[in-house]
């Protein structure tokens, strides 16, 4: 029987299941997300389910600003163009995460992940008490810092523990199950006008993960790859507390890959983030929708769209990372054009492919970022990729704000800026294919 070590990891592992054996579907895996792949072990499913539960709370927090932007800006007396600028500042609030995320490459994925859950929960609750735009931005800055750290650790934990041929499925499932948090937030948003403190109540609910912290601490183990890497550092007398060393190693040892991942993440996020983040405000302001109408669309049509997480992850394991990423990046701007320029009655039907390509693109970004770099700087690479997403999203919002005149619709600018995602298709061709290969092979520098 495996014995847990002091970090909650396991010193040895059981033999993998035969490829011909398929485990029973766990309770948390809906039928519409497909079957359990052949060859996965029970511990793999337990890990994916556990980390996905935490990811659901992350998605819930992110859904608040997307859904309730109109109510938030109106409570602060802001117009649409001013709210876009506010959104840009909030996205930039994740920059401090570049200090926190590399710590997971020295202190451990588990330790930083659990700390991030606490930080994002507290920051979410504090956001609900904001009385001014500045207060709100400050609270969201803290929240975004820990959200980025939690997301980076979650993806790395799944990527490091699952077999090579099923990494895409695991990261895709992480996004798909996590999306239920967004759905729960959309459901609550339908009653925003009836809640005792309006949109603020939505943020107060975001503190729920604090009550589940003992559960996560007990069941989440450190990854075996990190434990091996830590032993190697100790043997070679490397300072495990030096947070900056993974970042230096990342840029020094892998300059070409670092730049390519940064460019791809920046361009896709710049095009996709504002188009998605501003849609709730758009349909309520332009088409006169009620909050419940947006919530219904997010729950029903969005339910079909979030399948993009699992489908694109599964397809990337079989067809390759590069072609699937090019598909998602290339089709997203056209889906955005349909959502913003199509008749109001068609918006719910166009929302499904819109979300499908958005979530699929995000999944591919995260899979690629974890596979191109070694264990010693893998979490830092995820932080680097997420930072570029943050900067790209902020730049996208800033561009939409600059291109939108006061009192005019945000649709033309949102659609025009979404075209930046097409440039990411060019960048993906510069990145080596990593599908089906062990992390120790995909992270070897070739041509950097």
With contact defined as beta carbons under 8 Å apart, do 106 and 240 qualify?
yes
Which value, to the nearest 10 degrees, does the dihedral of the CA atoms of residues 132, 135, 138, 142 take? Answer: -120
In terms of DSSP H, where are the helices of 128-278? 133-161, 167-189, 199-205, 209-219, 224-235, 244-253, 255-277
Angle at 329 between CA 324 and CA 334, to 5 degrees: 120
With contact defined as beta carbons under 8 Å apart, do 3 and 11 qualify?
yes
Selection from 242, 256, 298, 239 nearest residue 66 by Cα: 298
pLDDT in the model for residue 407: 75
Mean pLDDT of 276-300: 83
- Domain that residue 157 falls in: 37-442
Reduced to 3 states (helix: H, G, I; strand: E, B; else coil), residue 237 is: coil
pLDDT-derived band at 385, boundaries 50, 70, 90 = confident
Query: Domain for residue 331, yes or no?
Result: yes
CATH number at residue 403: 1.20.1250.20
> Does 18 have pLDDT greater than 60?
no
> Does 25 have pLDDT greater than 60?
yes
Query: Domain for residue 396, yes or no?
Result: yes
Query: Domain for residue 19, yes or no?
Result: no
Query: Domain for residue 214, yes or no?
Result: yes
> Does 49 have pLDDT greater than 90?
no
pLDDT-derived band at 346, boundaries 50, 70, 90 = confident
Mean pLDDT of the chain, nearest integer = 81
With contact defined as beta carbons under 8 Å apart, do 161 and 41 qualify?
no
Q: Which CA distances in Å does 379 have to 98, 106, 130, 230?
A: 10, 10, 32, 14
For residues 177 and 413, what is the distance between their CA atoms, to the nearest angstrom? Answer: 32
pLDDT-derived band at 264, boundaries 50, 70, 90 = very high
Query: Domain for residue 41, yes or no?
Result: yes
Q: Indicate the number of domains in the chain.
A: 1
For residues 116 and 109, what is the distance between their CA atoms, to the nearest angstrom? Answer: 10
Query: Domain for residue 143, yes or no?
Result: yes
pLDDT in the model for residue 302: 61
Q: Token pair 């401090």 is at which residue?
A: 96
pLDDT in the model for residue 334: 95
- Write out pLDDT tens, residues 190-204: 888 888 898 999 999
Mean pLDDT of 11-15: 43
Angle at 324 between CA 441 and CA 357, to 5 degrees: 135
Mean pLDDT of 257-276: 92
Q: Token pair 């003992």 is at which residue?
A: 214
Query: Domain for residue 21, yes or no?
Result: no
Task: Report the range of poorest mean pLDDT among 155-159, 337-341, 382-386, 412-416.
Answer: 382-386
Mean pLDDT of 54-58: 78
Q: Which CA distances in Å does 384 have to 91, 110, 233, 419?
A: 15, 19, 22, 23
pLDDT in the model for residue 21: 62
> Does 69 have pLDDT greater than 70?
yes
In the DSSP assignment, the letter for residue 1 is -
Query: Domain for residue 18, yes or no?
Result: no
pLDDT-derived band at 93, boundaries 50, 70, 90 = low
pLDDT in the model for residue 436: 80
Indicate whether this model's pTM tops 0.85. Answer: no
């Amino acid at each position: 029987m495996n014995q847990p070590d002091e970090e909650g990891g396991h010193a040895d592992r059981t033999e993998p299941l035969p490829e011909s054996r398929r485990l029973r579907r766990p309770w948390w895996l809906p039928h519409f997300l497909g079957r359990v792949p052949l060859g996965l072990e029970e511990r793999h499913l337990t890990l994916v389910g556990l980390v996905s539960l935490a990811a659901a709370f992350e998605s819930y927090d992110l859904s608040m600003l997307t859904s309730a932007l109109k109510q938030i800006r109106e409570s602060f007396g802001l117009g649409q163009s001013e709210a876009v600028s506010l959104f840009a500042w909030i996205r930039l609030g994740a920059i401090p995460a570049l200090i926190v995320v590399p710590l997971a490459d020295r202190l451990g994925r588990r330790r930083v992940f659990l700390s991030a859950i606490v930080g994002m929960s507290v920051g979410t609750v504090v956001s609900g008490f904001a009385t001014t735009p500045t207060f709100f931005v400050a609270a969201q800055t803290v929240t975004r810092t820990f959200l980025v750290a939690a997301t980076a650790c979650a993806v790395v934990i799944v990527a490091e523990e699952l077999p090579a041929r099923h990494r895409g499925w695991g990261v895709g499932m992480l996004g798909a199950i996590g999306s239920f948090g967004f759905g729960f937030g959309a459901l609550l948003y339908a009653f925003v006008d009836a809640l005792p403190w309006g949109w603020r109540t939505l943020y107060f609910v975001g503190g729920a993960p604090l009550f589940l912290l003992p559960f996560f601490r007990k069941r989440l183990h450190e990854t075996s790859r990190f434990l091996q890497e830590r032993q190697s550092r100790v043997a070679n007398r490397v300072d495990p507390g030096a947070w900056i060393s993974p970042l230096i190693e990342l840029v020094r040892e892998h300059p070409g890959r670092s730049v390519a991942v940064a460019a791809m993440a920046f361009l896709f996020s710049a095009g996709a983030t504002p188009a998605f983040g501003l849609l709730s405000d758009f349909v309520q302001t332009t088409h006169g929708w009620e909050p419940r109408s947006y919530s219904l669309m997010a729950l029903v049509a969005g339910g079909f769209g979030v399948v993009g997480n699992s489908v694109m992850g599964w397809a990337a394991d079989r067809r390759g990372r590069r072609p699937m990423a090019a598909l998602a990046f290339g089709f997203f701007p056209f889906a955005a054009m349909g959502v913003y320029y199509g008749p109001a009655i068609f918006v719910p039907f166009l929302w499904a492919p819109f979300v499908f390509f958005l979530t699929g693109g995000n999944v591919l970004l995260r899979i690629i970022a974890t596979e191109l770099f070694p264990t010693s700087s893998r979490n830092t690479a995820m932080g680097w990729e997420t930072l570029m997403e943050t900067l790209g999203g902020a730049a996208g919002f800033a561009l939409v704000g600059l291109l939108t005149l006061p009192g005019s619709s945000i649709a033309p600018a949102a659609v025009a800026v979404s075209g930046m995602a097409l440039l990411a298709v060019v960048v993906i061709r510069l990145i080596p294919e990593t599908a089906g290969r062990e992390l120790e092979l995909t992270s070897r520098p070739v041509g950097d």
